[in-house]
Structure 1
Amino acid sequence: MTEKFPPEDDKYKPVSSIESAPVLEETYPLIPPFSYCLIQTDPLSNRTQYIVVEVPLEQKEEEKFKIIKQILIEELDVDFSLLKEKDRAAEYLRRKVFDIVKDYNLKLKEESFDRILYYVQRDLLGFGKIEPMLKDHMIEDISCDGVGVPLYVWHRKHESIPSNISFDDAEELDSFVIKLAQRSGRHISVANPIVDASLADGSRINITYGKEVTQRGSTFTIRKFRSDPMTITDLVLLNTMDPLIGAFYWFVIENRHSVMIAGGVASGKTTLLNCISMFILPDAKIVSIEDTAEVNLPHENWIPSVARLGFGGIEKDGRKRGEISMFDLLKAALRQRPDFILVGEIRGEEAYMLFQSMATGHLGLATIHGDSVESVIHRLESEPMNIPRTLLRSLDIVCVQAKVRLGGKFMRRTVAVTEIAGVDPVTNELLTNPVFKWNPREDNFTFYGRSYIVERIRDQLGWSDQDCWDEIERRKVVLRWMVKKKIRHWQDVATIIREYYSNPEKTFERATRGLQ
C-alpha cells in the first residue's frame, strides 16, 4: 500500500490547535505512511510545539480494531519479549491479525487492514501513543511530568518543546509506567515506586509510580539510545570542537594517554567519550563500565558491562540482593587485562580503583560531573572518591564540555582541554597546562601552542616536535576530508580510522585529493 506522505486530505489534519499556529518549522515522517510529525510555532506566544499526527481510523475500522485487539489479548500464545528480533514479532502479529480477520469474517479492505495493523503493532509491540516519538531520530529525551501534562521532548534542533501527546487519565498513565517497567525487566509498585532501568534498545528510563513520590501522578523519562551514534565528524560539523582538537585526541589516545571528560547535565560527555573511544587501536582490548548502556563501539575486542540495581529490600551489607555495582565491575575488569577501561560516569568508590589502575599502566577514559578543571579536581579529592594527589598525576587530560547558549539556541562546546602536568614538589599544588580553549565571542577555538603530553609522546617515540605536530596535522586533514564529504556513520568513520592505522600515507593522500 502506498499513500502520499504526508497526507493532504482534511481528515488527516492534526489537532485544532495547529489551526492557530500557522508557522510550520518542519515536517518529516516517523513511521511512514502512518505517522509523521509537525513542528510549528505560534506567532503570538512564540511557543514551538512538537505534534504527532497519525492516520485516523474510521468509525467501522475503530470498531474492528477493538475487536481484533481484544481477541489478540485473549488468544495470543507467545511472549513478544522472547522474540528478540522485532521483525519476526511484527510478522507473527501480522499473520495472527490476518487469521482473525479471516476466521471472524471481519471483511477489511487492504488499506483498512494496514491501518488497523499499524495500531495493533503500535500498542502490542511498541509503546502505544509514544511509539512514533521513539522512532524519531531527532529526539534525545521524552518526559512525562504527570497526569494531564503534555509530554515534553528534547529535539536536537528545537531543544525542549511540548508535544500534543498527554496521559489525561491517572489509571492509563499508571498502567503505562507498569508496562515500561515490565518491558525493562523491572517491577514497580507502591512499595517500590522509583525504578531506573534500560529498554531493550538501550534507552535509559526513570519511572515513578502513582503519587507516592511525585504529586502529579506517575512520571517517566526516556533517554533514547542512539543505534547510530554520533561520531567525531558530527562533533566537528556541529562546531562542538574543531578538527585540530579531534586530531589531538586521536594522537594522544593512540599513544595510550588517559582522558577524563567533565561537564554538566546534557553537555555531551558520553557522546564525546564514545567519539574519541573510536580512536583506540582496532585490536586493543576494551572494557566499558556503565550504569546503563550508552557506549557503542565498533571494536571486536570490547566487553560492554552494565551495573545491576538488585532486587528486594536493603540487606545487612547495605546493598540489595543481586546488586552489581560499578565498583564490582571495575574489579572484574582489572582481572581481564584490558588495554583501555571506559567508565560511563565516576561518582563513588570506583574512582579510587580506576586511578589505581591508571597508575599501574591501564588506560582510562571516563566522564565526571564538573564545570571546570578545578571543580573536577575538588570532586576527585573529596568524599566519596578520596583520590590522593599523588594518584591524580596518572590522569593526563581533562576535557570540559558545556551546553552553551548561542544565538538563542543551546549548543554543545568543548570549552577547555587541559593537561595534568604534575605536582609541584614544594607547594604540592597540581600543575596544569591549558592546550585548547573555546572563545564564546567568535565561537572558535584557541590553541595555546604547547602540549606536555605531545612532548612525552615525542620522547617515547624518539621523534622531534615537528614530527609529532606534522602527524597531528595529517590527522587533521583526514578529519577535514571526512567532514567535507560528510562521512559520519560510525561504521564508515571506524573503517577510515582503521585504514589510517594500517596505511597512513595512503589514507592521507586520499584525504588530500578529496579536499582539492
Structure 2
Amino acid sequence: MGWIGWEVINEGQYKIPMQKLSSDEKDVIEGVCKEFSDTVKDEVIENGAVAREIINKLLVQHLNKNRISADEEQIKYLTDAIFLATYAYGPLTYLLEDDMLEEIAVVGLGTPIYVFHREKGWLDTNVMFTERDALIDIINKMSRKIGRRITLQNPRLNAVLPDGSRLHATIEPVSDLELTIRKFKKVPLTVRDLVKTGYNADLLAFLWLIFQNDKNIIVCGNTAAGKTTTLNALFSFVPITERIVLLEETPEIVIPHKHQVKMKTNPSLGIRMKDLIEDSLRMRPDRVIIGEVRSKEEILAMIESMNAGQARGCYATMHAHSAKELVSRLRYNEVMPSDFSAIDLVIVQRRFLKFSGGKVKETRKVVEVCELAESRGGITIHHLFQYDPKKDTVVRTPAKSRVIEEIAFANGWAESKIYEEIARRSNYLKAIFAKSKNIQKDIESYGFQ
C-alpha cells in the first residue's frame, strides 16, 4: 500500500488546502512514512503536536541523509502530507475541521470527494482517492477508538466519531467503495438561527410557552431536514435547571442543560430504543428526548412514555414529509386513535428545492405546526401555523389551539391572557434577536408577567 493514496487535481469547486506533489516528493513522503511507522511501531500517539514533532525530525534527517535540498515552505507541506498520511485522516482531516460542511462523501476511487456546504449545497473538491487500501486504512483509523473495523468479512460500517460525526462506509461486495460522514455543528444553533428556516418571532414565542409547560412534541420531516438541530435549538426554552434524559441511537442532541443523562442503543448487546424508553420510566426525568423513532416497537414505546406522564414533556423526532404522513405512519404501526391525544404538538420541517433568481437552491423550512385530535374513529389535523412561500415564513391560522386552552385552564386564566403573553414574548424575542450576544441567558432572564 502506498502511504499517499490520494491525488490533488486542478478542478474542484471546494478547494482543500493541499499541495500537488511531484513524483520525487511522493518518494520522500513514502520513505519518511515508513520510518515514522518503524519508529512508533505499536505506540499510540494521542497528541498531534507530538506526532508532528517526530515527523519533522524524521523528514529533516531523511533529507540530509539522501542529500536532498528543500526550502522552509517545502518542508512544511511535506510535513503536512506525512502527518495526514500517518497520524490524521488524509484529506478528510481538513473537511472534518470545516464547520460549514454538513456532509462528506467519497463515491469511489478516481472521483473527486464531494461535500455538502451549509450555504452552497453539494460541491466537488480538488482531491480524489486513488488507492483502495489507503481509504480503507483511513476508515479504520477513524473507527479505531470505538473498536470497529471494515473488512471483507464485515463490509458495512456505521459508527459515531469522537467529535459526534456519523460515519457510514461500505466496500465490496456491497459497493465498489463509498464513505459518507454526517457532520454536526460544533456550536449548536440558537432559536435566533431558526429564523433562517422560516420560524418567526410569533411562532417561537408560541413554542416557548409550549416548551415551558407539560407537553409532548414530535418534530418530523424528511432526511436532513434539520429535525434534531431544531429540537436542540428549541430546548433553549426549557428551564436550564431541569433533569433531561436523552435516548439516542447516534448521539446528536446537544443541549446546555448540565443535569442530563445520555443513553444510547447498542444492537450488538441487544439494547434497543424500546429498552431505553422503558428504563426512562424509572429515572424521574423532567424531560425525555427520544433522538429518532423508527420501528413499530419504538413508536409504541414512545406513545407509552407520552401517556405515562412521568415527565413534563416527551420529545421525539420521526421521518415524515407532512403531518398527514405522520398520522398514516403512526396508524400503520398500530397507534390507536385514542392515543393520539398524548401528542400535544407536531412540528413539520422540510428540506426541498426552491427556484430563485434563475437558480435552484436547497432550503430547509418549517412548513406545519399542528395538533392532532381523534374524530369519529379517525384523526383530524388542526393547523396552527403553516408555511407561506410568498412570505417565506409561517403564518398563524384562525384555528383554536387545544394546547392553549389546556394551559389557560390549568392556570385559571382567560385564553386572552395567554395570547397577550405570547405577543409580549414575541416582542421580547425580536428585541434580543437584534442585539443579544447571549440568547440563552436572555431567555432565562425573562420574567412572566
Question: The TM-score by the shorter chain falls in which range?
Answer: 0.7 to 0.9
In structure 2, what is the equivalent of residue 411 of structure 1? 363
Mapped partners of 1:278, 1:464: distance in 2: 27
Of 221, 242, 246, 1:284 maps to 242
Mapped partners of 1:498, 1:94: distance in 2: 44
Q: Are the aligned partners of 1:101 and 1:108 in contact in 2 as well (CA < 8 Å)? A: no
Q: Are the aligned partners of 2:16 and 2:91 in contact in 1 as well (CA < 8 Å)? A: no
In structure 1, what is the equivalent of residue 397 of structure 2? 448
User: Residues 441-479 of structure 1, C-alpha deviation per residue, up to 9 Å, x if partnerless?
Assistant: 332322014322112111112222232122222322232
Counterpart mapping for 1:100-119 below 5 A: 100=58, 106=64, 111-119=73-81
Q: Are the aligned partners of 1:177 and 1:218 in contact in 2 as well (CA < 8 Å)? A: no
Q: Are the aligned partners of 1:233 and 1:486 in contact in 2 as well (CA < 8 Å)? A: no
In structure 2, what is the equivalent of residue 430 of structure 1? 379
1:228 paired with 2:192, answer no
Of stretches 428-437 and 164-173 in structure 1, the one that deviates more from structure 2 is 164-173
User: Residues 293-315 of structure 1, C-alpha deviation per residue, up to 9 Å, x if partnerless?
Assistant: 111011001112222231xxxxx
SS of 2:16's equivalent in the other structure is strand
Of 299, 304, 313, 2:257 maps to 299
Q: Which fold has the larger relative contact order, with Cα–Cα distance below 8 Å and residues 6 or more apart in sequence? A: 2
Mapped partners of 1:280, 1:199: distance in 2: 28
Change (3 A) 1:189 1:61: closer
Change (3 A) 1:97 1:147: closer
User: Residues 391-439 of structure 1, C-alpha deviation per residue, up to 9 Å, x if partnerless?
Assistant: 221110111111132212111111110012x323xx2222332100001
SS of 1:460's equivalent in the other structure is helix
Mapped partners of 1:416, 1:139: distance in 2: 27
Of 332, 347, 351, 1:399 maps to 347
Change (3 A) 1:161 1:91: closer
SS of 2:99's equivalent in the other structure is coil
In structure 2, what is the equivalent of residue 39 of structure 1? none
In structure 1, what is the equivalent of residue 3 of structure 2? none
RMSD: 2.5
Mapped partners of 1:452, 1:355: distance in 2: 19
1:346 paired with 2:293, answer yes
Of 49, 72, 93, 2:36 maps to 72
- Structure 2 gap ranges (5+): 1-7
Mapped partners of 1:193, 1:98: distance in 2: 36
User: Residues 345-395 of structure 1, C-alpha deviation per residue, up to 9 Å, x if partnerless?
Assistant: 111212212211211213211111111212111111223xx2222222111
Change (3 A) 1:244 1:328: same
Q: Which amino acid aligns with 1:346?
A: V
Q: Are the aligned partners of 2:384 and 2:397 in contact in 1 as well (CA < 8 Å)? A: yes
Mapped partners of 1:336, 1:184: distance in 2: 27
Q: Are the aligned partners of 2:344 and 2:371 in contact in 1 as well (CA < 8 Å)? A: yes
Count of residues in correspondence between the two structures: 429
Post-superposition shift, 1:110?
A: 5.3
Mapped partners of 1:380, 1:244: distance in 2: 29
SS of 1:140's equivalent in the other structure is strand
State TM-score, norm by structure 2: 0.88
State TM-score, norm by structure 1: 0.77
In structure 2, what is the equivalent of residue 11 of structure 1? none
In structure 1, what is the equivalent of residue 424 of structure 2? 474
Q: Are the aligned partners of 1:61 and 1:112 in contact in 2 as well (CA < 8 Å)? A: no
In structure 2, what is the equivalent of residue 513 of structure 1? none
Mapped partners of 1:121, 1:476: distance in 2: 51
In structure 1, what is the equivalent of residue 332 of structure 2? 382
In structure 2, what is the equivalent of residue 43 of structure 1? none
Of 373, 376, 379, 2:323 maps to 373
Q: Which amino acid aligns with 2:119?
A: K
Mapped partners of 2:30, 2:374: distance in 1: 71
In structure 2, what is the equivalent of residue 485 of structure 1? 435
Post-superposition shift, 1:257?
A: 1.0
Q: Which amino acid aligns with 2:34?
A: Q
Mapped partners of 2:345, 2:218: distance in 1: 6
Post-superposition shift, 1:58?
A: 7.5
Post-superposition shift, 1:233?
A: 1.0
Q: Are the aligned partners of 2:107 and 2:179 in contact in 1 as well (CA < 8 Å)? A: yes
- Structure 1 gap ranges (5+): 1-13, 19-48, 84-88, 311-321, 506-516
Change (3 A) 1:119 1:493: farther
Mapped partners of 2:368, 2:31: distance in 1: 60
SS of 1:342's equivalent in the other structure is strand
SS of 2:346's equivalent in the other structure is strand
Post-superposition shift, 1:113?
A: 4.6
Of stretches 338-347 and 53-62 in structure 1, the one that deviates more from structure 2 is 53-62
Q: Which amino acid aligns with 2:193?
A: D
Mapped partners of 1:395, 1:359: distance in 2: 9
